[in-house]
Amino acid sequence: MRPTWVLLVLIAAAAACGNGPVATTPPPPSPPSTPAPAPSALATPAPVTFVEAAEIVERAVRGRVTNLQLYGPQPPVVWLAEVLGRDGTLTDLRVSATTGEVSGKQVQDTEAAAGAARLMAADRVGAWGVWRATSGAVPGSWITAAVLDEEHGTVVWEVEAVDPARKVRKIEVNAATGAARVLL
């Protein structure tokens, strides 16, 4: 565990144990032009970061990530990954966002693997490049999802990140050049 994460948990626990009255009125709604807040389980960075999870699954399958998403409306929070192996197989994995433990390997069909291989052939940035581009586009953010996809004939990473104000941001990273464009 990281000391910062432990400190945040302790602060939250102490606040929850207060003796004051409990507020019963809901907070005012956000204006429609602002991004929605991150789900409560994703409101702080996971102990196992996007880049660490990518490294873990790429080593486990000996391949490259094509899809990595933090999932956890409630604990336990996990990274759900799709990795294209060097042998051409597409494998789904789960990685604990607290321990980094890999579980739930499942190989997908050959048609899905062929589609992932076509997209991966155009990818020059990989997980590290996605992280660098996102960090440059939205400083201080942490990635909660990155999916390799095709938009209007261009292979891109569709990224969701949480900014320092705890707003979900959508970023598109060109898989060939690493150029990032903030969409929301």
> Domains in the chain and their CATH numbers?
40-182 (3.10.450.40)
Q: Which residue has the tokens 């042998």?
A: 87
CB 154 within 8 A of CB 138: no
Average pLDDT taken over every residue of the chain? 80
Residues 6+ positions from 106 with CB-CB distance below 8 Å: 91, 92, 93
Identify which of 172, 174, 173, 166 has the alpha carbon closest to the alpha carbon of residue 44.
166
pLDDT score of 54 more than 80: yes
Mean pLDDT in residue range 160-170: 94
The whole-number pLDDT of residue 42 equals 54
Share of the chain above pLDDT 70, in %: 76
Tokens describing residue 80: 């759900």
73-130 pLDDT, tens digit each: 777 899 999 999 999 999 999 999 999 999 888 888 889 999 999 999 999 999 999 9
